[in-house]
Each structure stands twice: as C-alpha cells, then as structure tokens.
A and B are shown apart, each in its own frame.
Chain A
Amino acid sequence: MGIAINPLSGLPSSASAPGSKIPNPIRTSLTDHEREGSVIVNIGPSHPATHGTVQIVAELDGERVLRTDVHCGYLHRGFEKECEDHTWHNLIPYVDRLNYCSALINDFAYCDAVEQLMGIEITPRTRYLRTLLSEYSRLCDHLTCVAASMMELGAMTAFLYMVMVRDYMYEHLAALTGARVTYSYGRIGGLADDLPLGWLTRLEEILRQYEDFIGRVHGLIDRNRIFIDRMRGVGVISTADALNWGFTGPILRSTGLPIDLRKDTPYLAYSELDFQVPVGINGDNYDRYYVRMREMDESVHMMRQLMDMLPAGPINVDDRRCIFPPKTLVYNEIESLINHFKLVMEGPSVPPGDIYVAHEAPNGELGFYIVSVGGGVPHKVHVRSPSFVHMGGVHKMLNGYQLADVITTFGSVNMIGGECDR
C-alpha cells in the first residue's frame, strides 16, 4: 500500500537513507505513536487508488485508521501568482484548469465576479445559456465522480455506462467550444460564441441517453449488497462537524442540511427555475452517492426548462471596455482598430475595488475574491476552492474506519487536484 515511515524522524525511510540528498518535501505531524504497536504508513502522493495527487500519512492499528495527516499541494502551479501577470481576459484559460471536470462553472464564476466589479449586466440569452451550461457541467462532474468512485469498488459496468454518456457530453461540448475538457468559453461580458445549429436537438438526445443509462446504474448499484456494505455507515460526518470544517456542496447536503447557493443566494437564472435541493440523512458515503445521483436528475430537469426558456438575442453586451469590436470594423475603422489594440495590449479596464463572488460548483462553494487597482491586470485573484477546504476536514471522515475505506471515502469527497492546489 505504501512505504514505511521512520518513527524517529517522521520521514519516509527512503528519504533518510544514506546517500540520499533529496530533502523530504513534507513534514508529517504524526511523529509519535498514539497507541502501542501502531504503524505509521504513507499513502500517496501518487497512488493508483486515490483521486488526484494527495498524500495521506496514516497511523494504523491493524487495519483501522487511528489518525491521518492529509497533505496536498503536489499540483501547485502558482495560479494566483500567474494571474497577477495577465490581463483579466488572458487568465480565463487558467481558470478553466481549476476544476477541470466542470471547467465552464469556473469560467462563469470568474466572469461573473469581474462583470459585477465593472457593473455590467449580461444579456438575457447569455444568462440562460450560462445557467444551462453550468448545469451541463455539473452533470459531467457528478458523472465523473460517481463513476470513478464506483470503479474503485470494482463496479466496472456502471463506470463504463456513465463515462460513455459523459463522453457524448464532452464531444457535444467540443462541438460548441472547440475543446473536450478545458473550454475557455466564458468571456467578460458574454460568451465566446453562440450555439451551433442543431446543438439543442443533440442535447435532448444525450439527455435521453443519460436517463436510459442512469436507470441501469440505479438498478445495478442502489440496492447492491457489496456496494451498501462498503458505503453505508462509512465516512460519516455530522452537520455540526461539516459546518465547523467548512464543508459545502454535496458533502454538507448529505448530512441533511439543504444549503445550496442556487437557492439561497440565487445568481444567473436560478431564481426562475423549478428545482429541489436533495439532502441525505446520515452524511455517509452512500448518502453522498445518492445526493449526487439526485442532483444530476435535478440538473437535467433544469436544463429542459432552460432549453424552453432560452430567448433569442445577442450574447455579448455592448460595452467597449471588455467586448472586442467586430472583425470587419477592426479592419476598416480606426476607432475599432484602436479599441481592439487596447483590449489586447492593456486588457479590459476594471474599476478599482474588490469583490467576492461565489457560485455553487459541483463540489461546493467556489468563490473568487478579486482585487483591482484599475486597469487591465488584476492586483489579486484568489480562489476559495471547495476541494482545498474539504482536504482540511477530510480526516474527520477517515479516522476510525478501515484502511480500505480511505479509498471509498476519498472518492466520495471528489477532491480535484487542479482547484485544491491551484
């Protein structure tokens, strides 16, 4: 499972081996043994059964986990530092790579923050399209999470059913945005492009296929004895603990608290939609599985409403501070050429100020805290990523259970390295 840790130094034995010059990048807090005869093992950071690159140092009593020290940061690539060196527009592709399972939600949350700071109100068509695509992304993200966590339990058929549907969605989103995973589709004040012809027809086809396959997954998994034995009563967290440790999203809702930003502080077009907030009862792995499954159904319900509500009209606001002029004008008119030049070289001019905008991402509250000193480059872009905060409290769900349960619980938390480590 992992490599042994030297109990005296608290470092992996290999790191303290003579001749080894590479320092150990982590310092574990588990240096003394809580119980006589316990073993401290290191799991990860690169382990085939963990989602993402994360390191768990665990103290074990036999197969039982006594304490864990969760360490992340292996995917840190200086996102926030890099943002301070790019114009407001140019960092949209970086934003995509935070939660790469639902990149569109990151795009829209970031654009929403900048737009609110600039005082821009997006056009109705963009508002509905962003809502539709946010729910589509949530569907993709939950499909990935549930499929992967079932595969880790050996449910290969269910995994393939869900990932097949997800791939139809990726191909479908590629038809819209040009990319399967990292779309860079949001723009400050609008979107990159309007829907291609027949896109909504294909969407309805995919949703029907989704319903077909998700029905089969329900039939295979919901009352499966092996699945229930591994998931029910494992990784339990109480509502009070979940709030104290900053959990949001499906994990908080699985404890029975109907907290959802789409209902509580509605943004985009959510106030006009009819949907429910599914909650769990025990806050265990099974509840988190079921909350995600129900949320996907609600997303489909919302997408069908949005397809009917989608108004015609422009997708970009008419605001020269952030929207590029039409190409024909750039080539034929000096004002538009200068406008284009200024937007490329200096970036959109965002007035001084700071703002915190949060959207309900598939994993929980995704917040952008941005600070502008005026001009085209941010002074600071900070991401409140749900995965990072969840890693701070995940030991509450791991301690006290079996070593093998670390895998299932971690799967149900759906830690995404891209947004956790930034």
Chain B
Amino acid sequence: MHAPSMIDRLQAELATFGAVVVSHGTVVCHTEPPQLLGAVTLLQSQFAFDVFLDVTAVDWPNDALRFEVVHHFYSTTNKIRVRLKSRVPEAAPIVPTLRPLYGSAAYMERECHDMYGIQFDGNDDLRAILLYEGFVGHPLRKDYPKQLEQPLVPYRF
C-alpha cells in the first residue's frame, strides 16, 4: 500500500491550514474557507492529488457555523484520500470554487449548491442540476420538510 512517511509528511504540511487527524485511513483536515484554496493547491502541486472526488455539505442546524462543506480528494500516484472540512455560517455560506484547479468541480459544486445552498465564490455557473429551474429552497437542509412537494405541472386527479 502507501508509504507511511507520505501520510506523515502530508499531516505536517496540512497542519498549517488547520487541525489534522487520520480517521479510518483518510487524512482529515479541519480548515476554514479562506484557507481552503491554499490547502487544495498544496495537495495538488506537492502531493499529486489529481482526482477531485466529491464535494458535499453536512447541516448542523444548532451550530453557529451551520454548514460543514466537505471536500474529498484522491491521489492516483500515492493512493491516499484526503478530506477537507470547512465550516460556514448560514448567513454567508460561501467557500471558494475549485473550478480553476479541477474541471470536475463544475458539476459537483452545482449539486452542492442545489442541495444546501452553498455559494461557491468564483463559480458563475451554479444553475440547477439535480433540481429544476424555479425550485424554491434547498432540500437537504434539515429544515426543509421531506413531504413538501413543488410540482412543475399541477396534479390531475
């Protein structure tokens, strides 16, 4: 598998961006939105993290910083995964976009914006992707009722 020294080096370097732990074999860094781009640039340029796997958010309705934006990266050379977490408040749920670094960010950030209303600063194409144009609200937020329906075409009974 991967050399342990690589994970140690990664932990030491990522520590400048926030607290780092290793959880279930994944390096997890709790960073902040202003530091995110720096951390990702470091991952891409120094540690060959060439695949941007996933971005999503976790809703913690009782916290002041309500949303936890979670990025996952994978290095095809070192076979390591990294998770970056950054907390944003409900009033300004803004994190920088990764569009300039990874092409795959375009679609995945659109999904995260659909579901949680996270704004990706610098991504000017946050059109609806899994939802439709005109959908009101963000369905994966905990305060969105599961039963609420927004039919495009009125029901015919």
**A binding-site residues for B, Cβ under 8 Å:** 22-27, 29, 71-73, 76, 78, 80-82, 84-85, 116-117, 241, 243-246, 248, 257, 259, 264-265, 353-358, 365, 367, 369, 371, 379-380, 382, 384, 388-389, 391-393, 421-422
Contacts and interface: CB of A to CB of B under 8 A. Distances in A.
Given A71-B129, A73-B131, A76-B130, A243 B50 contact: yes
A353 B146 CA distance: 24
Contacts of A259: 76
B141 to A, nearest CB: 10
15 contacts: A25-B132, A73-B130, A244-B50, A246-B104, A246-B108, A264-B79, A354-B23, A356-B81, A371-B58, A380-B56, A380-B58, A388-B111, A389-B54, A392-B104, A422-B130
A244 B104 contact: yes
Contacts of A393: 103-104, 107
Contacts of A26: 127-128, 132-133
Contact of B53 (A24, A78, A246, A264): A246
A341 to B, nearest CB: 25
Q: Is the interface of B mostly helix, strand, loop or mixed?
A: loop
A234 to B, nearest CB: 21
B104 A23 contact: no
Contacts of A365: 53, 74
Interface in B90-120: 102-104, 106-108, 111, 115
Contacts of A248: 51
Contacts of B132: 25-26, 73
B68 to A, nearest CB: 9
A384 B54 contact: yes
B103 A244 contact: yes
B103 A25 contact: no
B33 interface: no
A244 B54 contact: no
B102 to A, nearest CB: 6
A380 B141 CA distance: 11
A357 B1 CA distance: 16
A241 B51 CA distance: 11
Given A27-B127, A393-B104, A80 B140 contact: yes
Interface residues of B, number: 43
Given A22-B153, A369-B56, A382-B54, A243 B131 contact: no
Contacts of A29: 125, 127
A421 B130 contact: yes
- Which of A245, A248, A353 is packed against the most chain B CB atoms within 10 Å? A245
Contacts of B1: 265
Contacts of A371: 58
Given A25-B134, A26-B133, 20 more contacts: A23-B152, A26-B132, A73-B130, A78-B139, A81-B144, A244-B102, A246-B51, A246-B102, A265-B79, A355-B26, A356-B26, A356-B83, A367-B54, A369-B70, A382-B56, A388-B108, A389-B54, A389-B107, A392-B107, A422-B130
B51 A76 contact: no
Contact of B76 (A73, A243, A382, A389): A243
A25 B140 contact: no
B57 to A, nearest CB: 9
A365 B146 CA distance: 29
B108 A389 contact: yes
Contacts of B107: 388-389, 391-393
B24 interface: yes
Contacts of A116: 24
B72 interface: yes
Contact of B133 (A24, A353, A354, A356): A24
Nearest to A26: B133
B103 A72 contact: no
Interface in B62-76: 70, 72, 74, 76
A11 B89 CA distance: 36
Contacts of A391: 107
Nearest to A257: B76
A117 B102 CA distance: 30
Given A244-B102, A389-B104, A72 B54 contact: no
A259 B127 CA distance: 32
Contact of A246 (B52, B58, B139, B144): B52
Contacts of A380: 56, 58-59
